[in-house]
Every structure is written in structure tokens, then in C-alpha cells.
Structure 1
């Protein structure tokens, strides 16, 4: 753990809940390529579709942009294609270092994608698999509904106020807040002004590190200048 450094802020929590895409893994080029091809195949405006996809379950986006299509079948196709093709998926800056500073019981992943896709991207990015992964298939209602974050907190045996969410999209931040969990926004996917509802905005996970704390079962998350 880091012991001496200049910090702008230190946040205390028991559990860190990470979104996956745009937070721990950089998959934006891969995601937008597959969604763009899908939109063209169905003669949809690809640019309009791409504005709606981040932070939400595939099936929810399809229901919004193409309500006449069989959403379950189309979502399965898109998720399967992305699971098979992880070309260009890498770890985001600072992700591996931050996770290496956490004990397995201190963090979990809460993603809108299916578990098989999440694990494929983690392997492609050479990041560790979490003990707990809440996927879009594990909940009845996806982000921005709070179900996924509330479920993660419960399974991590923590109260919502003892958790801290790290997100990159507005639906994810809204889900965290609806669960009464504070959120850090990472600027990997959207500009800062679109994520201003988060308690804190950082450009990269490189600015986060775990520092020593005297309290047992406590995470002290330091934010560098």
C-alpha cells in the first residue's frame, strides 16, 4: 500500500463496486464496432444508436432503439459476438495496479453485460476475476435502476452507505445514487460535464490508490492531485 504521497482527498468505504466497461476495461472501440455493424444491418442510424448504449443492458437499448425487433434474440446475438471477439479490449490505465492493492473481499464488479462477456473481457485485459460479479442477467431491471448495486452490496455483506461505486456512465451513476451509494466518475467514456452528478470526477484510475488505515475492514481510497 501507498504510505506517503500528496492527496487531494481520501475516501473511506468497506467495499468498492466497479462498473466494468469504461472503468476497468477499455472496450469502447470493440463495442461501438459491433453495435455499428448491427445498426447498419437493421438500417438504423448508427450514430443515434451509439449515443444510447453505454452503461445499459443490451436488451434495454434494443427495446428503445428498435422496439419492433425481437429484443431477446438480438441481444443474445450481440452479446455472443462480443464475447467471441475481444479484439482491442485492454485494461484501462491504473486498473491493474488498483485491483492489486485490494483484497478479494473488498471489491466486486457490477456490469450491465452478461457474465460470460464480462469474463472474456477481463481475460483479454489480463485483469483478475472478482469473487462477485453481478451481471445484467442477474437482475430484473438494469441500470439506471438500483437493483444491481443493491444486490452487490447485500452479497458483499455491506450496507449501501459502506460502499463506493466507480462508474463511467450516467445510467451507472444514477443507479448508484438510487441505491444510496456515492459514486466516482471516471472520464474514459463521457466528458466531465455529462457526469457532474457524481460526487467526484477523475480522468483516470491512475489517480486512485489504497493507503494504510488503522481501522479493520476499511478501505482508504486516496485521490492524487
Structure 2
């Protein structure tokens, strides 16, 4: 894994790829409720399950935790959990600074790359009162969940950008691993990101200053 760069205070890019949960939207309350119930049904420790779940599609979490279980069972259960999550928006709020950040990058090439499916992503962005970026790469857009880099590589391709010219905003270990696998630099958002050596880390989006560059790129500076 690439080491952190303690002296780094800013990142420049031609395009940004944005995770959603934990990066733009705080959905931790819902995720914890749904996955603790799932853990209890499996006779598993809830904290252990929650240490794996962030950043991944649900069936990928299940495959990690129950490797002997048939994939079709995981996919079926994932659909049931997605239904639970879509019905529960209590406590879904924006990450501090998210609305202002999205407004600041409106003229910069950017895409959403999330492990949520389109319906859940739409509902959560609306519940948080945030602009829904386009293009958007959701669970339906990829054949493999983060930490596979497919979503970020497709996001860069949608924007017509080289991966090396992209900066990813992520909060989870799985997401940061996916970005690294895609050959991209990472701005880590929040406490979960710190353990995974992002190039630059901030507590939330209020700690980032956006400067749009004359060539259409962007500079992200830690406040």
C-alpha cells in the first residue's frame, strides 16, 4: 500500500471521482441498524461485521464474512438488505461541507462512484439534500464491488480522463484500495480513511478549499 505523505497539503487533478456513503452522505446510522440485525440473524458479532461492510456492495461483504456460502444466497440476501436500507432514511444527513463542495466543483469534471445501487443512491442523496452528480457509477454499472478498481476506472473513462489525472474522494478501506488499484490518488474523508494511508486526509469537507484552475482542473487544499 502506498504510504501517506505527511507533508502533503494539497492535491491537483483534472477530474474528481466521488464516493457517496461516508464521503458526501453520512448514512452510518442506517448501515449500523441494518447490518447489526443481519449479524444477529447469522449469530455474528455486530462490531466485526461493521468493520468489513463499509465501501463494499452487500453481497461482497457477505462473501468476505461467509466464504463458504453460495453466491446466489448472498445476492438474494443483499436484495433484501437493500430494500431495508431504501425504506430507512432516518439519520441520513450530508457530510459537513458536502453541499458547498459540490457547488464548488460544478465546473470541474467529476463523477459519482458508489457501491449503492441507483435507487438507494438517489434516495440517500435526496435525503441529504445534495445535488446528484452525473455521470454516476452505481452497483448496476460494475461486475465487481470495491475493492476492485472497476468502478473508478469506468468513472475515469466516462469523463475521458487518464486514471493518473484523477483524485478519488473516499472514506473506506475498500474504496481506498479500489482507488489505489486504479492508479489514482486519494483524498481521505473522515476517521475511517486514516488507517488506509490516503495521500491527503481531512475530517470532513469543511476542511477542503477548492480552487478551479485555468486549465479546467482543480486544486484541493487542506484548510
Per the normalisation by structure 1, the TM-score is: 0.89
* Residue 74 of structure 1, CA deviation: 0.2
Q: Report the CA distance shift for 1:191/1:18 in structure 2 as closer, same or farther (over 3 A).
A: closer
* Residue 105 of structure 1, CA deviation: 5.6
Which 4+ stretches in 1 moved above 6 angstroms? none
The alignment status of 1:175 with 2:174, answered yes or no, reads no
Alignment match, 1:145: 148
1:31-50 correspondence to structure 2 within 5 Å? 31-50=31-50
Alignment match, 1:107: 110
| Alpha-carbon separation, structure 2, partners of 1:58 and 1:104 | 33
| Alpha-carbon separation, structure 2, partners of 1:72 and 1:171 | 19
| Alpha-carbon separation, structure 2, partners of 1:163 and 1:151 | 12
Asked whether the equivalents of residues 104 and 131 of structure 1 are also in contact (C-alpha less than 8 Å), the reply is: no
Alignment match, 1:63: 63
Alignment match, 1:154: 157
* Residue 111 of structure 1, CA deviation: 0.9
**SS at structure 2 position matched to 1:131:** coil
1:1-225 correspondence to structure 2 within 5 Å? 9-66=9-66, 67-68=68-69, 70-103=73-106, 106-188=109-191, 190=192, 192=194, 194-195=195-196, 197-213=197-213, 215-224=214-223
**SS at structure 2 position matched to 1:210:** strand
Instruction: Count residues with an aligned counterpart.
Output: 213
| Alpha-carbon separation, structure 2, partners of 1:49 and 1:142 | 17
Asked whether the equivalents of residues 186 and 204 of structure 1 are also in contact (C-alpha less than 8 Å), the reply is: yes
* Residue 138 of structure 1, CA deviation: 1.4
Alignment match, 2:4: none
Asked whether the equivalents of residues 27 and 89 of structure 1 are also in contact (C-alpha less than 8 Å), the reply is: yes
Consecutive unaligned residues of structure 1, counting only runs of 5 or more, are 1-7
Per the normalisation by structure 2, the TM-score is: 0.89
Q: Which moved more, 1:199-208 or 1:8-17?
A: 8-17
